[in-house]
A and B are shown apart, each in its own frame.
Chain A
């Protein structure tokens, strides 16, 4: 039995979660304070990967990162081929997981009393310190929930991954892709094994998140984090 899809899936999901963590928070922070006319448009674009079929996301990534695409061309020039490589699985997972992080983090930022941020500013503190000492701690439950959702979404990605990373065993074959090709190839035992595995991982993650939420809620009640 070849367990490589498990390690590929976990590596890919962790990398994608890490990238979405920073990208999502940055995007959420930007839009929570942005007051321009394009607010609605930008918000829609950031949320779009959540509602589009993954194949459409995959197709767009293919256009961008393909050999003749704007990014693909530059990478090709320095000798890097993204399509059908492991980083492509990360790109696909990041693209579909991003809206999860973005949406939850934005909600969390918008919940914070603006006066707290204003108060910190009048105290002569730098924006950077305000962000890490006030904003992030107060938005932390939302940010953590967003990370968990991103991880779960990245772990389950199939369509976009297949389109730009393909099905290369030991290289780009993640669990969802392994399930599809096992089932298609009539290897139902193998497919069931992967199905059970992904089921268990997802369930554990969700249970941990619920526990953590409960813990946070109790902590808020006792120490008064609002």
Chain B
């Protein structure tokens, strides 16, 4: 199973220009809205036509602008799960799932529909209409319908965005299980980095129509190659940086000198650290310890984000240097300790981005 994509398409506002190859498992397309994620899927499915390039799926050429090939959507054998599931509202669950099988023999058709209904645990809902189903059930019907054509690639366009929070975690697990049975390639579009991390084996980070990063998901989260990739994978703290020595830099926006684990290049441009990697300093920490004051605090139910200013207390509470994310227990503990607090930025966790 192999999918090769190399396409260009001019759109209003930006040009989509992506190139990737994936062999098996789930490749995530992570990006903000308007980064070209969904358009990439639409081009692969044949709903939209790229201006230039090639799309090859298991030795079948789906699109090749040089050879003038543009295979129609219905011949591509691409399973597409739409954001709103796109179930036919005038058909029952059964009819929706069996829609693609009209050329099969009646018995065979029944058997396949039966099989998909059991696979997606939709028993008892056969005669219902889509509007009589919950969001999670609709998603399962849509997935069952997409799988009836035995697609060689499965395209999932933000499958969880229409669902309530409490359903997400459960359905994410369910989707991972379903996908592990599926032999083909899966592309998973999302703007949610947590979903991407949980579901995808590989990741492509998109910004403004082009790839900021492409590779193994865990690697990209640990070492995002660009600032945009770091932002999209959830990093909140960035500062302009200047080279001081091989392991020391000046973070201008934060007004501090930082020691790093990684060797600093003379080309250094930006430094970043994730909000949850900042720690309260202990006695043993000798370097990268800074006094700071909370500018303001945003309390979630289980986690708290503190907006810190380093060095001196800010009078203007809108300004801050760093976002610090801690657990609620930690917050109850630190809340009453005297100011300034001391924080420690672990040199190993500091991310460096060169000019480029």
Contacts and interface: CB of A to CB of B under 8 A. Distances in A.
Interface of A: 113, 115-116, 118-126, 129, 133-134, 137-138, 223-226
Interface of B: 42, 45-47, 72-80, 82-84, 86, 88-90, 99-100, 102, 129-132, 145-146, 148-149
Contact of B82 (A118, A126, A134, A225): A118
A113 B74 contact: no
A139 to B, nearest CB: 11
Contacts of B79: 122
Contacts of A124: 74-75, 77, 100, 149
Residue of A116, A120, A124, A137 with highest tally of chain B CB at under 10 A? A124
Contacts of B130: 224
B328 to A, nearest CB: 41
A119 B89 contact: no
Contacts of A113: 84, 86
Contacts of A126: 74
Contacts, number: 76
17 contacts: A113-B84, A115-B84, A115-B86, A118-B45, A122-B46, A122-B74, A123-B99, A123-B100, A124-B77, A125-B100, A125-B102, A126-B74, A138-B89, A224-B131, A225-B131, A226-B89, A226-B131
User: What 4 pairs across the A-B complex have the smallest Cβ distances?
Assistant: A224-B131, A123-B100, A115-B86, A119-B86
A42 to B, nearest CB: 22
A119 B146 CA distance: 9
Contacts of B77: 124
B132 to A, nearest CB: 6
B76 A122 contact: yes
A122 B89 contact: no
Given A118-B45, A129-B102, A224-B130, A123 B149 contact: yes
B129 A223 contact: yes
Nearest to B72: A121
A219 to B, nearest CB: 11
B89 A224 contact: yes
A215 to B, nearest CB: 16
Nearest to B131: A224
A111 to B, nearest CB: 12
B127 to A, nearest CB: 11
Contacts of A223: 129, 131
Contacts of A226: 89, 131
B45 A122 contact: yes
A205 B158 CA distance: 47
B47 A118 contact: yes
A220 to B, nearest CB: 9
B90 A121 contact: no
A137 B83 CA distance: 23
Contact of A115 (B73, B75, B82, B149): B82
Contacts of B75: 124
Contacts of B80: 118-119, 122
Contacts of A125: 74, 99-100, 102
B320 to A, nearest CB: 42
B45 A116 contact: no
A85 B141 CA distance: 57
A129 B146 CA distance: 17
B74 A116 contact: no
Given A118-B82, A124-B100, A225 B90 contact: yes
Contacts of B72: 121
A121 B88 CA distance: 13
